[in-house]
Amino acid sequence: MKKLFLAIIAGLTMLSCRNNHDLLFITSTNTEKWVESGDFSLKEYKTGDQTTVIIDTMKKEQIVNGFGGCLNELGWDALSIIDSVSKDQILKGFFLPGAGLHLNYCRLPIGANDYARDWYSLDDSINDFEMKYFNISRDKQVLIPYIQKVMKYNPEITFWGSPWCPPAWMKKNKHYACYPDKVNDLTEQGRGKEGTDQFVQDKKYLDAYAMYFTKYIEAYQKEGVKISAIHVQNEPSSCQNFPCCVWTAKSLNNFIGNYLGPEFEKQQVNTEIWLGTIERPFVEKVDTVLQDERSKKYVKGVGFQWAGKDAIPGVHKKYPGIQLMQTESECGDGSNDWKAAQHTWDLMKHYFNNGVSVYMYWNLVLDETGKSRWGWKQNSLITINTKTREIIYNPEYYLFMHLSHFIKPGARELSVSGTFNDILAFKNKDGKTIVIIQNAGQKEMDLSVKISNKLIQLRLKPLSFNTLVI
């Protein structure tokens, strides 16, 4: 699998040298990944020609800023299993512009998440309301070296951060988790629940937490890492057995409008504040913040994941001017199979068709167990076997590449009509049109695509992802 991928990367350089007027057609199935296909015809469109799909290159939707994933401690541990040459090859495939996935966004956890080695925050000194003991010493051991490796291949990459949990002493139960479980030592008395506030809603705690974010941004800046945005709380409604903190929409609104926003103004912090990451299907929870005069002036965008996908159509319609992001692609159960890639494709269609500018994966790389520190087995783009050192590029890796390799920052999504809807289309600033198509059927399928004055006849392999560049 590793040799196959290296051949693919080499071939991408050749493909990029094609004449701009050529048509490129790349296809992937579960058994044959990233094959250049000649199974198409191209001609001038004539009135009356039969079409299955019409792509309107003049009807442009949102700007697409890019694709990315999250950098986690257990991902770095997985990369540390292999030799430095192989590690660099993987990171090059993820981040080097023009090669592989060409990811240009990275999410960073602020403190521990479910794929940390264990619990920690950036200030575990109890009642340190002045943040005297704030530090990123733990991050300097793992996340900062990971980030520096990433920046080696893409110095212009955009980083944004989000906490799964504040320092535990800021929570009512004084613990990183929300519900007791065999993987933590939380007692039943400390159990929280959705629809309540676990964060202590007291001015000195809220002031300290606002300062916590500014300290984080400043500390990372000193390490040469610019934090472009803060998403205030990962999944604010989710009560978990791993690091988390439930907030009500009312309290999040109060924190953003009366504490975090003013603190950023006071300290002249130019990092954006986003309402994220929203994981519930309720538009009204977003309304609570975006319709508040204090908070809405600070919020530059809204991030969605999991069941938040059912809120995004309403938010996009109600607030057409605000930026939207998909913040964490659903992680599955560690199957890393073609079915998982098909599910991710369905998510991509939904999110892009509802206005997102960025699509984020979750774990880029994990070991063969796929397990979080707290026991949940999940998918990753790449799997590294701890015993054999085998590197496996999973189907979702190739799905991502079908989009992220060709869709450049600044592209615009295009309007697509016709009798077939398993498709997305984009137009890059250089004028190239990128069309991504799935054939979810068990048989070959013929498709007629009209783009401007061209008619393209395609033959799609069964169970395939396909990218057309014209």
pLDDT tens for the chain, 470 residues: list them.
555 555 455 455 445 434 334 799 999 999 999 999 999 999 999 999 999 999 999 999 999 999 999 999 999 999 999 999 999 999 999 999 999 999 999 999 999 999 999 999 999 999 999 999 999 999 999 999 999 999 999 999 999 999 999 999 999 999 999 999 999 999 999 999 999 999 999 999 999 999 999 999 999 999 999 999 999 999 999 999 999 999 999 999 999 999 999 999 999 999 999 999 999 999 999 999 999 999 999 999 999 999 999 999 999 999 999 999 999 999 999 999 999 999 999 999 999 999 999 999 999 999 999 999 999 999 999 999 999 999 999 999 999 999 999 999 999 999 999 999 999 999 999 999 999 999 999 999 999 999 999 999 999 999 999 999 99
Alpha helices in 335-438, H assignment, sequence order = 338-352, 395-404
> Nearest 5°: CA angle at 26, between 25 and 29?
135
The pair of three-digit structure tokens given for residue 114, joined into one six-digit string:
């479910």
Domain count, the chain: 2
Residue 406 shares a structural domain with residue 384: yes
Name the DSSP class of 168. G
The DSSP element (H or E) to which 255 belongs, if any, is helix 249-255
Give the range of the structural domain holding residue 398, as residue numbers without chain letter: 63-411
Residue 275 shares a structural domain with residue 343: yes
pTM value is: 0.96
Residue 284 shares a structural domain with residue 430: no
Give dist(CA 129, CA 167) in Å, integer: 11
Phi, psi (rounded to 5 degrees) for 240: -120, 165
**Which CATH number fits the domain that encloses residue 432?**
2.60.40.1180
Phi, psi (rounded to 5 degrees) for 297: -70, -20
Residue 396 shares a structural domain with residue 459: no
Name the DSSP class of 260. I
**Which CATH number fits the domain that encloses residue 327?**
3.20.20.80
Domain boundary among 411, 444, 460: 411
Residue 125 shares a structural domain with residue 172: yes
DSSP class per residue in 64-109: E-EEEEE--HHHHHHHTTS-HHHHHHHHHHHHSTTSTT---EEEEE
Q: How far apart are the first and last CA of the chain?
A: 29
Residue 309 shares a structural domain with residue 425: no
Name the DSSP class of 461. P
* Contact indicator for 296, 288 with CB cutoff of 8 Å: no
Residue 133 CB neighbours (<10 A): 11
Residue 329 shares a structural domain with residue 180: yes
Residue 70 shares a structural domain with residue 26: no
Give dist(CA 457, CA 445) in Å, integer: 11
Residue 67 shares a structural domain with residue 164: yes
3-state helix, strand, coil in the chain (%, to 5): 30, 25, 45
Residue 354 shares a structural domain with residue 460: no
Residue 22 shares a structural domain with residue 87: no
* Contact indicator for 408, 277 with CB cutoff of 8 Å: no
Residue 433 shares a structural domain with residue 329: no
* Contact indicator for 178, 192 with CB cutoff of 8 Å: yes
C-alpha torsion 194→173→109→329, nearest 10: -20
Burial of 385 (0-12, 13-18, 19+ CB in 10 A): middle
